[in-house]
Structure 1
Amino acid sequence: MAHWRALIVLGTAQFLMVLDTSVMNVSISRLVEDFDTEVTAIQTVITLYALVMAAFMILGGKLGDIYGRRRLFLLGLAVYGAGSALTALAPTLWMLTLGWSIVEGLGAAMVLPAMAALVAESYRGPDRAVAYGVIGGLAGAGIAVGPLLGGWLTTYLTWRLVFAGEVVVVLIMLALRSWVTEARRTGPRPRLDGVGAALSAAGLALCVLGVLQSSTWGWVEPRNAPFTVFGFAPTLFVITAGVLILVRFHAWERGREAHGRDPLVHLALLGRPALRSGLTTLLNQNLVLLGLFFAIPLYLQVVQGFDAFQTGLRLLPVSAAMLLASAVASRVGRAAGPRRVVRLALTCLLVAVVWLLATIKPVIDDAQFAGAMALLGVGMGLLASQLGNVVQSGAGEEERSEVGGLQFTAQNLGSSLGTALVGSVLIGALAQAFTTYVADDPRLSERARKQTSIALESGVSFVATDQVRAAAKQAGLPPSQVERVTNAYASAQLAGLKAAILVTGGITLASFLVTGGLPAGRPDRRTPTSPGTAAGGPG
């Protein structure tokens, strides 16, 4: 038993960091109410959490190589616990953002790469396969438990208890720190590439910021933008600036390698086809999963009026199917090869997206919705069973921490982009559809059209139809006009949701293009499935 003590601490860390995102996604409506804000503000908080992890994950892996993985793991836990405490007590949205999105995100960026390397170091041969299986199972359990636990606490008590509980768990893990050991490192320590870290973080942040704010700023025509560039919305300029900084990061890293200095990341790793395809597919997997996990709770809570616990119950088929498919497919992959399994997974996701589109109606069909959710979970589970093995098979022992950093960066960049992109499309399509429905309804008066136009110019948000009805009454519209405007908004809600879900289908379809680099046969037997790929989000 003593041999597996380290796995208890390391696995619990994985579970906690997957739990967070799934809890927040089912608590969106309550967070909007508690902080007197809008859905787009909570979208920003969720996106920022994943973005902070994506921006600093490679740096976290490098710091573990420099200062020791065990030391960074424990420091990251302390930071994460402090962020959880701040989140549990947050009186304002800004404090929530600081505690959850920034402090917890930085803690996770220190913990996760160190955890992946410590598992690889602590267990060898068949034991490592068992250890990675346990870690992956705990990540899947975080997805399964998160919506139910978060939904129940949010509905009947308060979501804050989740984060208060995390503080207690972190304190217990720190008390058991002697269970986690690390071999003494030999040879010179790598040197930190501070400029590379700053360039990568800034480039990623600007790219995601541009996508996130597109629903507010507009893509080309400016809406509620704080400034304009030559009369255009700043969105594309911000994204372009991020891309240019990433290009500069690439050149900087090449220069450091050419002069024999330690880079933040060895770019030659990305030249390996299997590793590159695995990372890209992993990014797309989390983009689709977190994008859907942002849009679907809005459909269930805002359109259907379900509470957080009822929402968690309806997301349960995803989690259960994902766990089951991941366990079964790990054996199938050994015979069929990762490429075939991943392509089967993407096919399942495409069918699930089409099925979901058919279920987005004013009155939900629970059986059809559960079927679509279960198929989505099957597709995600099939992906989770293969991608970690593919990524880690592309790394040697000395590269494992760096490749782990790339793996978690891809996952969390996908998560942040998924929430930002799907949220942007949803709001944009909602505004466009609302405008069209109002303009095309001959029964609406000119006054109603004018009032709607004024409201749209000040910004549109995804809110319950009761709020739209109340706003129309407050504007002095007659009852018949109030109901027509409300009905137009209700139809626009469904159009926006369908557009957002359709985008995830397009991303899934595009993912087929990168599967050619995946191994057709069984991956390297020496490298077992890596941790965390069963998670959507941090893990």
Structure 2
Amino acid sequence: MKILPLALAQFIASYAATNMNVAISTIADDLGTTIAGVQTTITLFTLVMAALMVPGSKLTDIWGRRRCFVVGLAIYGAGALLAALAPGPGLLLVGYAVLEGVGSALMIPPIYILVTALATEKAQRARWFGMVSGAGGLGAAAGPLLGGLVTSAFSWRASFLLQVLVVAVIIVLARGLPKPQTHHQKFDLLGAVLSGAGMALIVFGLLRTTWWFALLGAAALGLFAWHIRRTENPLCNPKLFRDRTSNLGLGTQLIQWLVLQGTFFVLSVHLQQTEGLNAIETGLALLPATIGMLVTSALAGRLARKHPQNRLIRAGFLLTVAGTLLVPHGLFLIGAGIGIMLTASVNVVQSRWPDDEQADVSGVSRAVSNLGSSLGVALVGSVADQRAALMLLILFGATGFVLALFIRNDAAQPRG
């Protein structure tokens, strides 16, 4: 089945973003570093993905979809192997944050482009988007429990070796994907530098509470916006940012991943540092959220066919905010809410654009989601008090709900 390697790749990338949280204390002790050091590595992983996702989507057009997908998997697998063998925090950062981040930026954009190309019927495309997004939600949800189980039974290194094994299986399965289609065009190096630097500086500024870096990042993104409007072959088409519905969908995607990653991080640190729980106990404590995401992610495709996407996004934010208010008793609601709206937001964004724009919009969509993940860890990590961090996440969740109020019922329809 052609969707299987695509769904597995999205699963493993999402799993990698959350499984480290439950092993933070174990990794810090084993490698002789600090909680802040491990937090930085986790943040940089999603930040590298965010910074390189749009360039990765452009390389998908230049190199071909399957080739870019397989090259990304190979780099990702090499990074996971290096992280598993890392004797210190430096090589862990190179393997996990850099190589896995680069690999993800190359392999994830082709996933959504291939789904759009292979699923020609609207119903099939919605179902496949639901499967891929559900796999992403499943990976993010299973990360704490599976990561805790593997860490406690073996070691945190075994979790990276598991990723190597899964990646090898995906590469074998990828042989059934369509052969590469390439386009001869120039690569917008300046656009890649400006967009990547802008996102990196903003997240780094928040991570280190250095506002000058954040302001420089905003300026770099402003230059990027100016640049792509004036260059002949831009990194991404500037018209992607002129559609109101698509922009609203991107905004909800960013906030969903910010809340998801931020919640898992702040609760994982609290459970390990304050409650003294080990990796598997932390994973079990987060189990209600995992179950909530598993249940609603499994139903995502069916819900997307029966209900307007905007209502699903609104319902998801309401459940998530309610669950965060009730922490720790509201973990199931948090997971269920996020699981409901992940697929809906992807449908809103991807379905607004024709096939020839899917490479660009896929890169932008994934970059925004990973930027949200980076911001979630960076923001809550800079707040010392758990209650204050949760209130910050509630505020973001409420903002996401407000954005969803402006998304129309026909949001998943192509632009006229």
Q: Is the 8 A contact 1:346 1:379 kept in 2?
A: yes
SS in 1 for 2:234: coil
Q: 1:9 deviation in Å?
A: 2.0
How do residues 249-268 of structure 1 correspond to structure 2 at under 5 angstroms? 249-256=224-231, 261-268=232-239
Residues 377 and 172 of structure 1: is their aligned pair in 2 closer, same or farther, counting only changes over 3 Å? closer
- Distance in 1 separating the partners of 2:79 and 2:349: 30
The residue that corresponds to 2:403 in the other structure is 514
Which residue is equivalent to 2:129? 132
Aligned residues: 414
1:69 and 2:65 are equivalent in the alignment: yes
In the other structure, the counterpart of 1:411 is 369
Alignment check: 8 A CA contact 1:140 1:319 kept: no
Asked if structure 1 preserves the Cα contact closer than 8 Å seen for 2:138 and 2:293, the reply is no
Cα distance change of structure 1 residues 304 and 131 upon mapping to structure 2, 3 Å threshold: same
Measure the CA separation in 2 of the matches of 1:168 and 1:425.
Answer: 37
- 1:393 aligns to 2:341 (yes or no): no
Question: By how many angstroms is 1:332 displaced?
Answer: 4.7
Matching of residues 497-536 of structure 1 within 5 Å: 497-521=386-410, 523-524=412-413
Question: Which whole-Å CA distance do the structure 1 matches of 2:404 and 2:134 have between them?
Answer: 25
Aligned-pair Cα RMSD in Å = 1.9
Aligned partners of 1:183, 1:122: CA distance in 2, in Å?
13
- The Cα shift of 1:328 comes to 4.1
SS at match of 1:190: coil
State the alpha-carbon separation in 2 of the partners of residues 336 and 121 from structure 1. Answer: 24
Mark the structure with the bigger radius of gyration: 1
Shift in Å, 1:122: 2.5
1:169 counterpart residue number: 166
Aligned letter for 2:363?
G
Equivalent residues in 2 for 1:195-214 (5 A)?
A: 195-214=190-209
Aligned to 1:383: 341
The equivalent of 1:145 in structure 2 is 142
User: Who is 1:276 aligned against?
Assistant: 247
Report what 1:53 is aligned to: 49
Letter aligned with residue 208 of structure 2: Q
**Paired residue for 1:83?**
79
For the structure 1 residues 508 and 137, does the alpha-carbon distance in structure 2 shift closer, same or farther, using more than 3 Å as the test? closer
- CA change 1:348–1:178 in 2 (3 A) is closer
- What is the one-letter code of the residue matched to 2:152? T
* 8 Å CA contact 1:333, 1:522 repeated in 2: no
Q: Is contact 1:336-1:522 (8 Å) kept?
A: no
Q: In structure 2, what is the Cα distance between the partners aligned to 1:343 and 1:281? A: 10
- Report the AA paired with residue 397 of structure 1: D
Residue 340 of structure 1 is matched in structure 2 by 311
CA contact (8 A) 1:122 1:182 kept: no
Q: Report the CA distance between 1:416 and its aligned residue.
A: 0.3
**1:213-362 superposed matches below 5 A:** 213-214=208-209, 235-256=210-231, 261-328=232-299, 330-332=301-303, 334=305, 336-356=307-327
Instruction: From the superposition, tell whether residues 512 and 127 of structure 1 become closer, same or farther in structure 2 (CA, over 3 Å).
Output: closer
Deviation at 1:393, TM superposition (A): 1.6
Unaligned segments of structure 2, at least 5 residues: none
Post-superposition shift, 1:505?
Answer: 0.8
Q: Do 1:199 and 1:248's aligned partners in 2 also have CA atoms closer than 8 Å?
A: yes
What pairs up with 1:11-22 in 2 under 5 angstroms?
A: 11-22=7-18
Please report how far the alpha carbon of residue 164 of structure 1 lies from its aligned counterpart in structure 2 after TM superposition.
1.4
Q: Which amino acid aligns with 1:141?
A: L
What's the TM-score, normalizing by structure 2? 0.94
User: How much has 1:329 moved relative to structure 2?
Assistant: 5.8
Where do residues 183-202 of structure 1 align in structure 2 (5 Å cutoff)?
184=181, 189-202=184-197
Q: 1:515 to 1:35 in 2, by over 3 A?
A: same
Alignment of 1:99 onto 2:95:
yes
- CA distance in 2 between counterparts of 1:375 and 1:176 reads 35
1:334–1:522 Cα contact (<8 Å) kept: no
Q: Give structure 1 stretches of 5+ with no counterpart.
A: 215-234, 357-368, 427-495, 527-539
Q: Secondary structure at the match of 2:32?
A: coil
Whole-Å separation in 2 of the counterparts to 1:405 and 1:140:
18
TM-score (norm 1): 0.74
The whole-number CA distance in structure 1 between the counterparts of 2:14 and 2:278 is: 22
CA distance in 1, matches of 2:157, 2:357: 39
Match of 2:151 in 1: 154
Equivalent AA in structure 2 for residue 145 of structure 1: A
Contact 2:11-2:136 within 8 A present in 1 as well? yes
Alignment of 1:442-457 (within 5 A): none
Cα distance change, pair 498–9 in 1 and its aligned pair in 2 (3 A) = same
Matches of 1:169 and 1:330, distance apart in 2: 24
Amino acid at match of 1:74: V
